[in-house]
Amino acid sequence: QSVLTQPPSASGTPGQRVIISCSGSSSNIGRRTVHWFQQVPGTAPKFLLTTNYQRPSGVPDRFSGSRSGTSASLAISGLQSEDEADYYCATWDDSLNGHVFGTGTKVTVL
């Protein structure tokens, strides 16, 4: 059972904005940077961004991240069909002395 909680699913129509939350605690998100990954089923995860840092080249600017307190969010603006995938947050946990991944959110483009 992960210490980072995400909603199991999210959906939107093409062009809409979808926000995925990642809820943690003071030992992880509250003091550490948060990373976001996209995974199309059957393929390896792909790094999207680190909150408050520049997106890597090749990642569309419609993906953005934010953090507030012990929660983080990934926003997908202008949703496109190719954005249909599973999304995971991750960070370091000082209490566990290890990395932790979120439970994952499946994004469906209606």
- Footprint on this chain of other proteins (rule: CB under 8 A): 2, 35, 37, 39, 43-47, 50, 56, 86, 88, 90, 96-104
For residue 5, the minimal CB distance to other proteins (Å) is 12
Q: In whole angstroms, give the CA distance from residue 110 to residue 107.
A: 10
Would you say 47 or 63 has its CB closer to other proteins? 47
Tokens of 23: 């809820």
- d(Cα 88, Cα 21) in Å, to the nearest integer? 10
- The position carrying tokens 């209490």 is 95
Smallest separation, CB 54 to other proteins (Å)? 12
Torsion of CA 69, 55, 42, 10, to 10 degrees: 50
For other proteins, the closer of residues 19 and 59 by Cβ is: 59
CB of 70 to other proteins, least distance (A): 19
